[in-house]
Structure 1
């Protein structure tokens, strides 16, 4: 005891002060005890070379566990710790932690890190600022391991010693049995008095027993065991011995789920480093040290335990394979083998290379000799005097066959030209010889004059003391001839370039003029010196035009490697010249060739045509085409409902009278006068266009109904207030205006135009010199609109042969007829496939002068239909076809009608042509002439709608007609209206007296039909007799009847 205290005091006196952190390490047990030494190794391994002032002390509490001993330790440490402070204290096992707990008043907040603590509870360091690693022997895991390795065991003898730790462990085992009662009969606690007692007890065990050594380091007398004791225990034991610490491994123990002191040391040292590096941070939490399964391979094999499934176990004393035992020798031998193999391979490789080099040298020599002999060039070797020593076949045939002596210099050959002889002689007489190349002429008997490219060069290595030279000559006769031709061609091209009737300019890489031909000089009016060296851009009229090389970078302008554009140049006298440039890059010289064509006249004509495409030549205002584009744009602008525009359609009143009375020059002047008046009163953003003749159109941007009406009034008043004067003629010009507001109700430009035109016509009909606003609610305008739409349908039907032939039956009222009588009608369909009423498109066709086209189509289709059906012609009594009044006044149509009737196979006697009474009365002379011609062909003539005019009766006897069709206005109410009955009787009686046949229209029912029969009317036509049907369908129906 006293010796220990002296040693401790000496250790304390050896403490040195330093600037490094001070750490006190206190172990519970003596140095040399396996557990303590393992912990210390782990601490030193983790800390490594870290700069620490670390003091390590051992309490030797394994041997001395009396209270007196602990009191002396407390007194000693209390005295010393008052003199020196530590940055941290690291303790191992319970006794050292207990000492620190007793010294808590002096340690205060100094961090304490512990390890190897059994039966851990926070109360063990309740007064300390402590953390660390607790020793948690997992009894359940050890028992499970025993069951896996030795499933047939009957009892487990758990060995503990007489120390304080042993008492704590036995308490833990009792608690474990209470928690797991299935182990009550299998666990037996053994506390031997000595090592000898322990050996005796294990020697008596059978192999179905298992010994679990927990702790037995101190016997009942206080003696501490050694490794030798554990070797003896393992030797005498008749049962496998398991451990919870690694002291017995390697001495015959099987192993177990083991707590490692080394691992405790590393983990507690890690905590120490954290505490030193982070002094302001809270201490880390207490942790359990990890356990691992460690097994002795030899012991497992000795007891025949099944450890094959323990893949996570660490095995010790496992016998080494031969390759592992002699691994160092094998590696050494292998290295030597590899080195020797490499040496042998290298030697073989270099020997092979030497053989290949020798073979290659021989082949090269042979190839060189072959090349020398077979070369198509003239080759030879000359000495220092110019005498030929060796030459190939070509040189021999050139020189020797022409009389050259072998002992004379080469230039003595008589067929060399004088210049060639001089050059050869000069080379060999020169003091220094370098490579020389020149052209020489020689005469050959076989080939005539040859031009050779001769090369002379000395050999770099002399043969003895004699210099030698290599003579090479290549026949370049063809090349020289080609060069002469190229020169001539270039001269020709230069002349061609100069004489071209187009501008030709060549630019260098800096866009400067390098060449320019005469035409370019004349076109631009500059002399060559004024252009050469200047940039072409200097001659452009616009400085912002791209350089020619910049044009090459523009996409989609290149066609077959040529870029084209039109550029305006400045002539020397200042006027403009338009040139169409064709730019081609010359890749071989990095130049640009520009070929320019004078298009000044074409450009002026194009500008004139472009002007004419947009403007009216008479007035200078926009024309119809441009106005349509503007109108289309305006419609797009109102799609969003945010803008409203207006269109005015103007028609000058009575301008035709001025043209007819004064002349067209006056009419043109009047139109110009009105255009200037309109331009003066219209807003700045309006569009004025002449639509043709005496019609103008105005597009008012951002103008509502009120504004449009005001402008229309202003136009009317302005024209009315300004007198137009032409020579002796003076008059005020008026106009009619149609207004269409362009808003979301407007669909297409054609619709807007048509509706404005309809409103203008309505203004004319209302008395002229006024405006009319188009409204969707105006019935008259709607009618006109529908008429115009139907006219479009008529045009489309005529263009596409889509007029459909209908027919309505005509019935004899006075006698039974077996043949067919009907009137041909025409129908057209709209875009929806519905039929358009004839009452709509027939008047519209007459209004817009296209009725004769309909008549022509109807005549053609009707005659072709009957011509293709001769069987129907035999049953036909009479087919009536209507003609409009316009057709009767159209000489072209009359000629067509007469010719078509004459050429038709349909008998004219079966054709009846109907013309309205009004049309016949308005053109009486023409009607009489036409009727006479038609009757001469055999056709019958019917006077349609008779009775609608008051003068009908007086003219009836003058007209050569066969049939009188009584107007349906008098017929439809004949059964209820006596006046109508009187009119029908009068017309029928008059017609009969004149020998005419009568047909009553609008026969709607049987009552009307009976009255007509009573009155003696010959034929009836109407819905009461039959509705109009397609011609084929009606003919089929009448045929069946």
Structure 2
């Protein structure tokens, strides 16, 4: 008889624990395989123990081939900026015994050489007694995110057209260079570069051609600069160049090469070829020069000073450079120009400008019936003395303030007309003289013409017509009462745009006058392409008409051609009765000048 002895033990709880642990492990593995982050775990020696599928995809290593290898062998990371190897995060965890994160600009080089921008963290796997069993490394692919961030960052620092640094970023470079000047006594040179005749290309061929010219010029400038120098585009056709560790004598040689290369360059667009030029202003950045002018780290002042020197170079004939010197008389004049910029902006904001009018008289025996008044602009100083236009207009033209001034004149004059209901004409103290010239007049005629001068910048302003239409509607002004004047020089420089604007204005019902006719070149040729109503003969031919037979013949010829073309003619600079008699004999339609009437103030109604 055989007997069997046995011991029975209830292991239900243990099996339940094992099942729970198995289920937790399965859940952990499923989770690790499902998440979008790469996960790698190591043992206490830093050798790979586990990779999830995302980690396999990014590193290029499978779990079977990577298991047991040192982490540094499959997880190779570098600094994105300088390409230097970065310390393995697992080594850092073992040393510091805490969670660590990778530094910014980290890239992972996969097994096949492909690079990924990553973000990651590593944490120790500890027992209850604080013993490290291994490390878990979690990382994610942020390549697209970083590319977008870098793109946005790059765009914030660079000019989108040329790829050069923009003004704001260049100012940072300039600030850093001033630190080196003051701390280490270094010497640098700042160059302010302004293209000559860029506007001709832009106006003749359009903005697309202008953009292409800027791109080509950028490549040309870069080819002539040293690698250590910093080139930026800081305005429409303006560049800045920071010549590091470069004294003025060497800087002059560098910029002369730039000038020569630009001068030899030809820009070709379709069937047209253009030669351009460049004017450059230079200023030394040294402890001595900065202390001399009382500037230590004022970047805006330095750029302004270099700009002023550039403008002097432009005034002296272009295609040259000019060096800033604190006692330079030309620069003092330029600073005075910049001073006018502030006054002009202030005048527009605070209505410090004032309007004048000057009658343009119909001459005796004229078959015309329109009265013509030119609206003129003046500026009052602090003591209410009048400042003539030519004192501030050059500054306004240089710093693109003319459109603002033109709009101020139009808005304020239209406001005046609306409040006198477009019928009451300005009172003239010496109107009897005009009556004598004309025979009989009615100052309340509806066919009175008011002429307003507009600048070349306004001619090229695509929004001007919209602005004008708005003002005409706002103040209920009849377009037939308004005539716009541009000089012949402006018209020639902007021929296609001027012709377009004239047609648009005439479509509205406005009139147009070509001012200073004869002062430009090929006047009659250009006149055929401009559908103007009035031809204002330049005063330089009129003022000596009594004593100079050639001037008499020129005025006579201009008047005859104007009439053949159906234009009304106006003689400027009629300063005395002798000149008046001559132009009446010739048959000019209108006369304007101090011999007929002086400009008089047009009192603007108070704004409501």
TM-score of the pair, normalised by structure 1: 0.38
Structure 2 residue aligned with 1:773: 323
Taking structure 1 as reference, are residues 955 and 597 closer, same or farther at Cα in structure 2, changes over 3 Å only? farther
Structure 1 residue aligned with 2:110: 571
| Residues 1:843 and 2:394 are matched in the alignment | yes
Verify the 8 A CA contact 1:917 1:948 in the aligned structure 2: no
1:552-611 Cα offsets, whole Å, 9 max, x none, are 999xx99xxx88855333423455443221456778987754332223465567668877
Q: 1:540 aligns with which of 57, 61, 76?
A: 76
Structure 2 residue aligned with 1:915: 485
Structure 1 residue aligned with 2:171: 628
Structure 2 residue aligned with 1:896: 466
Verify the 8 A CA contact 2:41 2:136 in the aligned structure 1: yes
1:646-672 Cα offsets, whole Å, 9 max, x none, are 2234567789999999x9999977864
Structure 1 residue aligned with 2:529: none
Verify the 8 A CA contact 1:566 1:581 in the aligned structure 2: no
Q: Quote the offset at 1:852 in angstroms.
A: 3.2
Matching of residues 10-25 of structure 1 within 5 Å: none
Verify the 8 A CA contact 1:941 1:960 in the aligned structure 2: no
Taking structure 1 as reference, are residues 774 and 907 closer, same or farther at Cα in structure 2, changes over 3 Å only? same
Verify the 8 A CA contact 1:618 1:672 in the aligned structure 2: no
Q: Quote the offset at 1:892 in angstroms.
A: 2.9
Taking structure 1 as reference, are residues 912 and 541 closer, same or farther at Cα in structure 2, changes over 3 Å only? closer
Q: 2:599 aligns with which of 1017, 1021, 1026?
A: 1021
Structure 2 residue aligned with 1:1005: none
Verify the 8 A CA contact 1:944 1:965 in the aligned structure 2: no
| Residues 1:676 and 2:223 are matched in the alignment | yes
1:498-546 Cα offsets, whole Å, 9 max, x none, are 2444312235676554432022123212232454455544523355426
Verify the 8 A CA contact 1:584 1:592 in the aligned structure 2: yes
TM-score of the pair, normalised by structure 2: 0.59
Structure 2 residue aligned with 1:763: 313
Q: Quote the offset at 1:908 in angstroms.
A: 2.3
Verify the 8 A CA contact 1:882 1:914 in the aligned structure 2: yes
Q: C-alpha root-mean-square deviation of aligned residues, in Å? A: 6.1
Q: 2:303 aligns with which of 740, 744, 753?
A: 753
Q: 1:877 aligns with which of 425, 446, 470?
A: 425
1:919-963 Cα offsets, whole Å, 9 max, x none, are 687589988997787678676778878653436775565599999
Taking structure 1 as reference, are residues 643 and 519 closer, same or farther at Cα in structure 2, changes over 3 Å only? closer
Runs of 5+ consecutive residues of structure 2 not aligned to the other structure: 79-84, 269-273, 362-372, 427-448, 517-535, 542-553
Q: Quote the offset at 1:739 in angstroms.
A: 1.9
Aligned residues: 504
Verify the 8 A CA contact 1:648 1:739 in the aligned structure 2: yes
1:454-491 Cα offsets, whole Å, 9 max, x none, are xxxxxxxxxxxxxxxxxxxxxx9xx95x9867754642
1:377-416 Cα offsets, whole Å, 9 max, x none, are xxxxxxxxxxxxxxxxxxxxxxxxxxxxxxxxxxxxxxxx
Matching of residues 283-682 of structure 1 within 5 Å: 438=10, 487-488=22-23, 490-507=25-42, 513-533=48-68, 536-538=71-73, 539-542=75-78, 544-545=86-87, 547=89, 550=92, 567-574=106-113, 576-583=115-122, 593-600=136-143, 627-638=170-181, 644-650=187-193, 672=219, 675-679=222-226
1:155-193 Cα offsets, whole Å, 9 max, x none, are xxxxxxxxxxxxxxxxxxxxxxxxxxxxxxxxxxxxxxx
Alignment partner of 1:634: what SS? helix
Alignment partner of 1:541: what SS? strand
Alignment partner of 1:504: what SS? strand
Verify the 8 A CA contact 2:354 2:380 in the aligned structure 1: no
> How far apart are the structure 2 equivalents of 1:606 and 1:931?
48
Runs of 5+ consecutive residues of structure 1 not aligned to the other structure: 1-421, 428-436, 441-452, 454-475, 815-820, 972-979, 1002-1011, 1037-1041
> How far apart are the structure 2 equivalents of 1:933 and 1:567?
59
Q: Quote the offset at 1:753 in angstroms.
A: 3.1
Q: Quote the offset at 1:873 in angstroms.
A: 3.7
> How far apart are the structure 2 equivalents of 1:740 and 1:578?
43
Taking structure 1 as reference, are residues 738 and 553 closer, same or farther at Cα in structure 2, changes over 3 Å only? farther
Structure 1 residue aligned with 2:578: 982
Alignment partner of 2:425: what SS? strand
Verify the 8 A CA contact 2:483 2:512 in the aligned structure 1: yes
Larger radius of gyration: 1
Verify the 8 A CA contact 1:849 1:886 in the aligned structure 2: no
Q: Quote the offset at 1:757 in angstroms.
A: 3.9
Taking structure 1 as reference, are residues 616 and 894 closer, same or farther at Cα in structure 2, changes over 3 Å only? closer
Taking structure 1 as reference, are residues 582 and 845 closer, same or farther at Cα in structure 2, changes over 3 Å only? farther
Q: Quote the offset at 1:715 in angstroms.
A: 6.1
Greater relative contact order structure (CA < 8 Å, 6+ sep):
2
Taking structure 1 as reference, are residues 670 and 502 closer, same or farther at Cα in structure 2, changes over 3 Å only? same
Q: 1:802 aligns with which of 345, 349, 372?
A: 349
> How far apart are the structure 2 equivalents of 1:802 and 1:577?
55
> How far apart are the structure 2 equivalents of 1:533 and 1:736?
68
Structure 1 residue aligned with 2:523: none
Verify the 8 A CA contact 1:648 1:740 in the aligned structure 2: yes
> How far apart are the structure 1 equivalents of 2:394 and 2:58?
65
Taking structure 1 as reference, are residues 854 and 828 closer, same or farther at Cα in structure 2, changes over 3 Å only? farther
Alignment partner of 2:403: what SS? helix
> How far apart are the structure 2 equivalents of 1:552 and 1:633?
40
Alignment partner of 2:452: what SS? strand
Structure 2 residue aligned with 1:852: 403
Alignment partner of 1:676: what SS? helix
> How far apart are the structure 2 equivalents of 1:807 and 1:982?
32
1:731-787 Cα offsets, whole Å, 9 max, x none, are 999865432223323564344334434434543554455432233444444444544
Matching of residues 155-174 of structure 1 within 5 Å: none
1:842-867 Cα offsets, whole Å, 9 max, x none, are 3334345553354245434654x569
